[in-house]
Structure 1
Amino acid sequence: MWIKSGLFALLLSYVLALVLMVMPLPTVLEPWRPDWVSLVLLYWLLAVPHRVGFGTVLVLGLLTDILMGSTFGVYAVALVLIAYPVLRHFQRIRHYSFMQQALVIGILIFVKRIIVYELEHVLNDAVFNLPYLYPVLSSAVLWPWLFLVMRRFRRRYAIR
């Protein structure tokens, strides 16, 4: 039943995104780690918005909070705030070219990272440094390839 409905494939993509968020990378590449959870979540919000909604976003945000060791709810709030415009305008964003989509994704991840920083600054006196924003660029550059891989994954497992 899970495999037939595509639920297993959705859960597998979320778990893979969470693993990629904490997978060790060489020191040189660590600041450039793409925001995997946001990328995968934004893809599913664009591709199947009727199956992935605010409940999924909230749960995935809370799991990211636990995994990253941040204050509980920080990532959840940030993900919910960037999910709203995507769910509201998914039909328009779908018809953008890859470059336009990458720009939109980059802006959304920038907003998410600023929200996370501001909340961490207020709650835990976090200090800002420029490498904190490097994932915005790497995520935007990665978006077209991730989109193609995820679309193939969605078609293979017939997620509708």
Structure 2
Amino acid sequence: MSRMPLNNLWALIIVSLTIALVLSVAPIPVFLETARPLWVPLFLTYWVLIVPDRVGLTTAWVCGLLQDILSYTFLGQHALIYSVMIFFVVFVHRRFSMFPVWQQAAALFVFYVLGLLLQLWLMALGGQRIPALSFLLPALVSSLLWPWLFFLMRPLTKRLTVSSED
């Protein structure tokens, strides 16, 4: 089986990150809004683990800027938060990929909580009201979704023979 050409790899990455951006701003019921998963960091984490030489901090920064534009927040807020989250994943990606998926989910919970605490700090600096402890619920939901995302995306990338040796 031949390897996926570079342009098809980027097409797959762009499509998946576009889906993540759309999911992050798609309307959902108000009572579920506090538990909205961190779709963009989830997909970024997946791609950093699969192709760390092609997806990293720059991709996280660009996706964060797009998220800022889509959600009408301060320009650079999500870019900084996503870059910090993905920095931790990039920093430990070799060891991280050896963990079982449930341990990856636990580590992602910690990384995502750190990103949300950074967001909380930025909100406090901007004079916004500090939310309750439910503010950390997206980190929990995202870490619980990680095994599902991993096991749904993995066969797709295997079938399309995506690898970091292209």
Same fold (TM over 0.5): yes
Name the residue aligned to 1:117. 120
Instruction: Tell me the TM-score normalized by structure 2.
Output: 0.88
* 1:34 pairs with 2:37: yes
**Structure 1, residues 24-49: CA drift from partner, whole Å, max 9, x if none?**
22233222111101101111111110
Structure 1 Cα separation of the partners of residues 159 and 67 of structure 2: 27
The separation in 2 between residues aligned to 1:143 and 1:75, in whole angstroms, is: 20
For 2:69, the equivalent position in structure 1 comes to: 66
- Residue 92 of structure 2: SS of its match in structure 1? helix
Name the aligned partner's letter for residue 44 of structure 2: L
Residue type at the aligned position of 1:7: W
Unpaired runs of 5+ in structure 2?
none
Does structure 2 retain, via aligned residues, the 8 Å contact 1:42–1:83? yes
Deviations 1:65-110 (A, max 9, x none): 1112111111111111122221121110001111110101111111
The answer on whether the counterparts of 2:88 and 2:111 sit within 8 Å (CA) in structure 1 is no
Q: Across the two proteins, how many residue pairs are aligned to each other?
A: 160
Task: Map 1:133-148 onto structure 2 (within 5 A).
Answer: 133-148=136-151
Q: For 1:63, give the aligned amino acid.
A: L
- Counterparts of 1:117 and 1:62, CA distance in 2: 18
Percent identity of equivalent pairs? 34
The 5 A counterparts of 1:15-34 are 15-34=18-37
Which blocks of at least 5 consecutive residues in structure 1 are unaligned? none
In the alignment, the residues of structure 2 paired with residue 9 and residue 111 of structure 1 have an alpha-carbon distance, to the nearest angstrom, of 28
| Aligned-pair Cα RMSD in Å | 1.8
After TM superposition, list the pairs within 5 Å mapping 1:73-152 onto structure 2: 73-152=76-155
Structure 1: how far apart are the matches of 2:7 and 2:61?
25
Give the superposition deviation at 1:153: 2.4
Q: Which residue of 2 aligns with 1:158?
A: 161
Separation (CA, whole Å) in 1 of partners of 2:45 and 2:129: 26
